[in-house]
A and B are shown apart, each in its own frame.
Chain A
Amino acid sequence: MNHDAYLDSYIREILNTVKSIAMVGASPVNVRPSYFAFKYLAQRGYDMIPVNPGHVGKSLLGKPFVASLADIGRPVDMIDIFRNSSRIPPVVDEALKLVTLPKVIWMQLGARDDEAAAKAEAAGIKVVMNRCPKIEYGRLSSEISWMGVNSRTLSSKRAPIPTQGMRLSLNRTSVSGGETAASDRAAKDKNDLS
């Protein structure tokens, strides 16, 4: 698996199939990126679970915080880790001890740990690193185009007007890989140095 650049088909398949997402490091503070992403994914119909031992007893947009992945008490499809790269390994180890393994482990924009990723992949789990699921969902649905962002997708179909809780079609034609190759290259250079 090349973690410097992902094919749209790989990301699309993940976002089209997972239903529940546990967000480790979710913040109740409404200017933190984790809060934005949690709210957006909930609005797009995902079953969101906030995981953060510092906020047990509170809830995030009506969903109660749990202290750990084990405390969720039911299988989840995807674990989205909103922690720095240095905090990734224990979360992945914790995920690998769950009775039912998640299908996907996703590490946020800026977070990457190739060793932890290899461990998860060896257990049959799909891994995405250094990406944001909100941005990827917005990109593949082209909803992010409102911000002038290059969705790297094309479509000649009329799209529905998004409403609260609505899942959008992510099945547009990809212009993927090549067109923002420069930014993938830069990410790779950065990782090679660090």
Chain B
Amino acid sequence: MTDRLPGFSTLAVHAGAQPDPTTGARATPIYQTTSFVFNDADHAASLFGLQAFGNIYTRIGNPTNAVLEERVAALEGGTAALAVASGHAAQVVVLQQLLRPGDEFIAARKLYGGSINQFTHAFKSFGWNVMWGDPDDIGSFERAVTPHTKAIFIESIANPSGSVTDIAAISAIARKAGVPLIVDNTLATPYLIRPIDHGADIVVHSLTKFLAGHGNSLGGIIVDAGTFDWSKGNKYPMLSEPRPEYHGIRIHETFGNFAFAIACRVLGLRDLGPALSPFNAFLILTGIETLPLRMQKHCENARAVAEFLAGHAKVAAVNYAGLPGDKYHSLASKYAPKGAGALFTFSLKGGYDAGVNLVSNLKLFSHLANVGDTRSLVIHPASTTHSQLDDAQKTKAGAAPDVVRLSIGIEDKEDLIADLEQALTA
């Protein structure tokens, strides 16, 4: 006898949620409260000592947020998750569990500009040293491994270039080095790619993008794959050693294959404080219910727009992994057979000036610094999201000065193409 397995769309609607025990409310209620009453002193002590399941204070956990956590864990095929205030907060909380001052982690060069910035400057001040690997040269990750390496960080589909990363190949390097592989799956979402199936040990998201999907809420999440042995070799003392703040509990021994998510909650979120508002969690949950439908439309539109641009006389190049002939097309076919996402870049024969002109001529596309909205978005990364980088870094990150980035929405594709057409000829 086997248990029947619900599909992805069923999980997107149901996982983590059930009618409210008190009122029977079917939609997940917004538990907009800071704190939760204890039954008695013993109950309070058990909760504080991590001995009982339950709620204490919204900085540590909240019932609305818990539904979001379980839902994303289910969609990614992980054992547990922790929701936080933003994608960037997720990255800090993850690395705080893994690195101590003087430690290193290896990150892909092709990353969201804000992440390159966070790793290069903010994390340096914590004594966490980033080494760079080039996803186009997998061996560069292996060469960057030292005895101080504690983790490898990549994006499944990279921002802004839309390139697809060979997750399994980098996972093999992480495994050999005895360190966890962290995959930022923001741009793919679990609908297109499930990094855990390809060897990721931790998945992070900026929920702000396609998962929430409507451009109305910041949020981030950390998913524990349950695959990493934290006690081996005493490399990760936050998980393997007795914790003084919890009377000597060892997190890995106590929580087994969801220990990493618990460490992020009780050692990271509790102490660093980037809690997600329950109201945002509600909006994000509502967004996730339609994730499969939206991603289908996002991908269909992106492909149509990319094809249009590729055939346009004023366009120099289109970089969309969904197009046959693209450098990343075979990786896209392997990792994201349902579609290569909705984010890509292109460059104009007229260079930087033509790019700036195009952005100002568009009437339907919004010029702003976000991706993964229902609305189609446009930006010139070199002067905005990636402006802190020097020209060489920009080019390596896929944000050369002549590059324009599009995040294709779920409008009618004919209208998006018409808007681009008029902006290119204007």
Q: A146-B61, A158-B21 are in contact. Are A7 and B1 (CB under 8 A)?
A: yes
Q: Quick check: A180 and B226 within 8 Å, CB to CB?
A: yes
- With contact pairs A154-B6, A160-B21, A161-B22 given, residues A148 and B73 touching in the complex (Cβ less than 8 Å): yes
In the complex, A181 Cα to B77 Cα: how many Å?
Answer: 7
Contact partners of A183 in chain B: CB under 8 A: 79, 225-227, 257
Decide: A149 and B3 in contact? CB cutoff 8 A: no
A186 located at the interface, meaning its Cβ lies under 8 Å from any Cβ of chain B in the complex: yes
CB < 8 Å: which of B15, B19, B229 contacts A156? B19
Contacts of A143 in B (CB 8 A): 53
C-alpha spacing A31/B250, complex, angstroms: 9
Collect the chain A residues with CB atoms within 8 Å of residue B247's CB.
30-31
Against B, the Cβ 8 Å flags (1 = close, 0 = not) of A2-36 are 00000111000000000000000000001101011
A152: contacting residue among B14, B74, B227, B262, CB under 8 A:
B74
Contacts of A115 in B (CB 8 A): none
Complexed CA–CA distance, A182 and B80 (Å): 12
Contact B20 A158, beta carbon cutoff 8 Å: yes
> Is B69 on the interface with A (CB-CB < 8 A)?
yes
A150 touches B5 (CB 8 A): no
Known: A33-B254, A147-B66, A148-B265. A9 touches B78 (CB 8 A): no
CB distance from A81 to the nearest CB of B (A): 15
User: How far is B21's CA from A177's CA once the two chains are assembled, in angstroms?
Assistant: 27
Q: How far is the CA of A98 from the CA of B242 in the complex (A)?
A: 37
- Which of A33, A35, A150, A177 is close to B70, meaning CB atoms less than 8 Å apart? A150
Instruction: Return A80 CB to nearest CB of chain B, in Å.
Output: 15
Nearest chain B CB to A170 CB, angstrom units? 13
The answer to whether B18 touches A142, judged by C-beta atoms less than 8 angstroms apart, is yes
**A contacts, CB < 8 Å to B:** 7-9, 30-31, 33, 35-36, 39-40, 109-110, 132, 135, 138, 142-152, 154-161, 164, 173-183, 185-187, 190
Decide if B256 touches A135 in the complex (CB within 8 Å).
Answer: yes
How long is the Cα–Cα vector from A150 to B46 in the complex, in angstroms? 22
Question: Is residue B233 within 8 Å, beta carbon to beta carbon, of the partner chain?
Answer: no
In-complex Cβ contact of B53 among A30, A146, A152 (8 A) = A146
| Partner of B63 from A146, A175, A179 at Cβ < 8 Å | A146
Does A178 contact B5, Cβ atoms closer than 8 Å? yes
Tell me the smallest distance from the CB of B228 to a CB of chain A, in Å.
Answer: 7
Known: A175-B74, A183-B257. A149 touches B80 (CB 8 A): yes
Inter-subunit contact A148/B253 (CB<8 Å): no
Q: Please, which residues of chain B bring their CB within 8 A of the CB of A33?
A: 253-254
CB distance from A116 to the nearest CB of B (A): 20
Q: Which residue of A lies closest to B222 (CB)?
A: A148
Give the residue of A7, A109, A175 whose beta carbon is less than 8 angstroms from that of B11: A175
Q: Given A149-B73, A182-B197, output 5 extra A-B contacts at Cβ < 8 Å.
A: A30-B51, A146-B53, A180-B77, A180-B79, A186-B227
B80 to chain A, nearest CB (A): 4
- Whether the Cβ atoms of B257 and A145 lie closer than 8 Å is no
Q: B24 at interface (Cβ–Cβ under 8 A)?
A: yes
Task: Determine if B53 and A110 form an interchain contact, defined as CB atoms under 8 angstroms apart.
Answer: no
| Inter-subunit contact A150/B73 (CB<8 Å) | yes
- Contact between B254 and A36, CB atoms less than 8 A apart: yes
Query: Contact: B5 with A179, CB < 8 Å?
Result: yes
Chain B positions 53 through 77: 1 when the CB is less than 8 Å from some CB of chain A, otherwise 0: 1110000010101110110011001
Contact A179 B53 (CB under 8 A): no
**Distance between A5 CB and nearest chain B CB, rounded to angstroms:** 11
Contacts of A161 in B (CB 8 A): 21-22
A35 to B52: give the CA distance in the assembly, Å: 11
In this complex, how many residues of chain B approach chain A with their Cβ under 8 Å: the count is: 62
Assess the A185–B256 pair: CB atoms within 8 A: no
A185 vs B228: C-alpha distance in the bound complex, in angstroms? 11
Question: Does the CB pair B196–A149 fall under 8 Å?
Answer: no
User: Within the assembled complex, what's the spacing in Å between the Cα atoms of A173 and B17?
Assistant: 13
8 contacts between A and B (CB under 8 A): A8-B3, A31-B247, A33-B254, A150-B15, A154-B15, A161-B22, A177-B5, A181-B77
Output the nearest chain A residue to B197 by Cβ-Cβ distance.
A182
CB of B248 within 8 Å of the partner chain: yes
- How distant is the Cα of A147 from the Cα of B251 in the complex, in angstroms? 14
Q: Is B261 an interface residue (CB 8 A)?
A: yes
User: Closest residue of chain B to A154, judged by CB?
Assistant: B14
Asked whether B51 lies within 8 Å of A40 as measured between CB atoms, the reply is: yes
State how many angstroms separate the Cβ of B174 from the closest Cβ of chain A. Answer: 13
User: How many Å lie between the Cα of A8 and that of B6 in the bound state?
Assistant: 14
Alpha-carbon separation in the docked complex, A144 to B77 (Å) = 17
Closest Cβ neighbor of B63 among chain A residues: A146
A36: chain B residues at CB < 8 Å are 50-51, 254
Given contacts A149-B261, A180-B77, is CB(A9)–CB(B1) below 8 Å? yes
Min CB distance B207 to A, Å, is: 14
**Chain A residues with Cβ under 8 A from B74's Cβ?**
150, 152, 175, 179
Quick check: is B125 within 8 A (CB to CB) of the other chain? no
Q: How far is the CA of A40 from the CA of B50 in the complex (A)?
A: 12
CA distance A151 to B77 in the complex (A): 11
In the complex the two chains form, is A138's CB within 8 Å of B77's CB?
Answer: no
Chain A residues whose C-beta falls within 8 Å of the C-beta of B78 in the assembled complex: 150, 180, 182
Enumerate chain B residues within 8 angstroms of A158, measured Cβ to Cβ: 18-21, 24
Contact A145 B3 (CB under 8 A): no
Q: What are the 8 A-B residue pairs with the smallest beta carbon separation, nearest first?
A: A183-B226, A148-B69, A186-B227, A150-B73, A174-B3, A158-B19, A149-B80, A31-B247
Closest Cβ of chain A to B40, distance in Å, is 9
CB–CB A39/B256 < 8 A: no
